[in-house]
Amino acid sequence: MQAKGAYPSFTSRLAFIIAAAGSAVGLGNVWGFTYVAGQNGGGGFVLIYLLALAFVAGPAFMAEMLIGRMGKASPPTALAKLQASTGSRLRWPSVGWIGLIGTLMVLSFYAVIAGQAMYYGLIALEGGFGGWSESAVTKLDADFKANPWAMALWSAAFMAFTAAIVSFDIRTGIERAGKVMMPLLFIMLIGLVAYSGHTGDMGAAVNFLFGFHEINFSSRLFLEAVGQAFFTLGVGVGGLMTYGSYMGDDVRLPRATFWIVAMDLFVALAAGLAIFPLVFASGVEPTAGPGLVFLTLPIIFAEVPGGAFVAFIFFLLLTFAAVTSSISLLSPTVQRLAEARVSRPVAACLMAGAAVMLSLLTVYSFAGGRGVYPLAAFGLNGMTAFDLIREGVSNFILPLSGLAYCLIIGWALKREVVRAALPMAEGRLFTLWYGVVRFIAPLAITALFIGAVVG
Ligand code: TRP
């Protein structure tokens, strides 16, 4: 426990790194990365994704955490403080407010997918999947999606779990959840990779993920790769800004950034190496899309030895990964409400409730509204409410907020001020990062949007 009334903080450097890694490692690494890589042809996509991590999303990730540490408040308030220190007349807090809206948008579909993972975990625990026929698995997914109430209830259960953790103070809730779940997640993941290597076709998986196949370079591919890089690091909605505000000045940010990005990448690749060997060994297509994890994999779990147990471990892993991310998504709004003297439990319940209400849009998109395209009249035909929310947040809000963070750190604040906020960073490393944040990342994001509009 911390002294009452003090601004919250993590107990140690490691606690911060675990929390931030927990935020980064999530459904995006397992569910998102494997299906986006699968749909975009593997190797070539992975390469662009790596470049996007190193030169765009990674540097912006560090910028966001730094803004939080400098501002020591919720995102809108932290940005207002920094703005006041410069005398700029632009409205910096609006970037923070858009981020708060973004957290709810991400949570709205995150909760539905995490809810399905919890449901599948329960089925596996009851011995399900073992020996099931393909049609039984397909029916399970179809029945779940045909039942909006079940989807909404599981989403609500997941958000209740999230809210319960966030209700506690930082050290007892968020910090402890990461310290318990993250090591377990790593152990389960390594176990799954070993199992897949033993049972599946590891060679085909490695070739698929790292080999070069035909790459179809298009502005769309770049946008997806950059969007995925931002999403997987969780940059752009203020979650990291909020965690950054809880970190001590002794955290060496460049080093912490390196380790968190490395862990995140490791989990994405390991998830690929856990999933694709089974996919290839069973001869199903790797391009199944969002259904890969809930449709393709369970069919495989039904066939492999010990499938029900493996399935349980897999869905438990997915749930843990999702929870340590969703607590970071609930934190910014809860911190903002705390500034308005709303207690953490009340704030957490309110915002989790809001996320559940919004999640009904995704539930509807998966259930009755599969062919309903709300913005078809605006040229966005073929996109359900879920598609619009997911792509709107990953491909627009995240990169644009990331751009704003880079411009704030790289241009709006004075170089000496930024340098002084990173006293322990080695000179050359600082210069490199600063140059990327000033020039490379903003130019890359701008080029991306021009490309998306023109191409
Ligand atoms: N990074 C998480 C994942 O890969 C999701 C996540 C956490 C996120 N915080 C975020 C996504 C902020 C966007 C913005 O699953």
Q: How far is the CA of 231 from the centre of ligand 1 (A)?
A: 5
Q: What is the total count of domains within the chain?
A: 1
Domain-embedded: residue 7: no
CB 140 within 8 A of CB 431: no
Ligand 1 contacts CB of residue 329 (under 6 A): yes
Q: How far is the CA of 20 from the centre of ligand 1 (A)?
A: 10
Domain-embedded: residue 23: yes
Ligand 1 contacts CB of residue 99 (under 6 A): no
CB 9 within 8 A of CB 2: yes
Please tell me the residue having the least CA distance from ligand 1 atom 9: 234
Query: Ligand 1 pocket check: which of 108, 185, 329 to mutate, most ligand atoms within 8 Å of Cβ?
Result: 329
CB 175 within 8 A of CB 11: yes
Domain-embedded: residue 5: no
Query: Ligand 1 pocket check: which of 23, 64, 181 to mutate, most ligand atoms within 8 Å of Cβ?
Result: 23
Query: Ligand 1 pocket check: which of 231, 323, 330 to mutate, most ligand atoms within 8 Å of Cβ?
Result: 231
Where do we find the tokens 């957290």? Answer: 103
Domain-embedded: residue 194: yes
Q: How far is the CA of 203 from the centre of ligand 1 (A)?
A: 30
The two tokens of residue 98 are 């858009």
Count of C-beta atoms within a 10 Å radius of residue 372: 11
Ligand 1 contacts CB of residue 24 (under 6 A): yes
Q: Tell me which amino acid residue 276 is.
A: F
Ligand 1 contacts CB of residue 242 (under 6 A): no
Q: Which DSSP letter does residue 6 get?
A: S
Tell me the residue range of the domain where 228 lies: 13-454
Ligand 1 contacts CB of residue 325 (under 6 A): yes
CATH number of the domain encompassing residue 409: 1.20.1740
Domain-embedded: residue 1: no
Domain-embedded: residue 223: yes
Ligand 1 contacts CB of residue 234 (under 6 A): yes
- What is residue 197's predicted lDDT score, i.e. its pLDDT? 92
- What is residue 248's predicted lDDT score, i.e. its pLDDT? 92
- What is residue 6's predicted lDDT score, i.e. its pLDDT? 86
The two tokens of residue 330 are 């609930």
Q: How far is the CA of 22 from the centre of ligand 1 (A)?
A: 9
Each residue's pLDDT expressed in tens, for the chain with a length of 455 residues: 566 678 999 999 999 999 999 999 999 998 888 777 777 777 778 888 999 999 999 999 999 999 999 999 999 999 999 999 998 999 999 999 999 999 999 999 999 999 999 999 999 999 888 888 888 888 998 999 999 999 999 999 999 999 999 999 999 999 999 999 999 999 999 999 999 999 899 999 888 888 766 666 777 788 888 989 999 999 999 999 999 999 999 999 999 999 999 999 999 999 999 988 988 888 777 776 677 888 888 888 888 888 889 999 999 999 999 999 999 999 999 999 999 999 999 999 999 999 999 999 999 999 988 888 999 888 888 899 999 999 899 889 999 999 999 999 999 999 999 999 999 888 999 999 999 999 999 999 999 888 877 76
Q: How far is the CA of 325 from the centre of ligand 1 (A)?
A: 6
Domain-embedded: residue 449: yes
Q: How far is the CA of 454 from the centre of ligand 1 (A)?
A: 28
The closest of 223, 326, 232 to 271, measured between CA atoms, is: 232
- What is residue 453's predicted lDDT score, i.e. its pLDDT? 77
C-alpha pair distances (Å), 438 with each of 86, 210, 226, 281, 379: 17, 31, 18, 46, 34
Please report the atom of ligand 1 found closest to the CA of residue 236.
14
Please tell me the residue having the least CA distance from ligand 1 atom 6: 234
Ligand 1 contacts CB of residue 326 (under 6 A): no
Domain-embedded: residue 4: no
Cα gap 158→412, rounded to integer Å: 40
Q: How far is the CA of 33 from the centre of ligand 1 (A)?
A: 12
HSE value, Cβ hemisphere, 13 Å, CA-based, for 128: 18
Residue 343, φ and ψ in degrees, nearest 5: -70, 155
- What is residue 368's predicted lDDT score, i.e. its pLDDT? 83
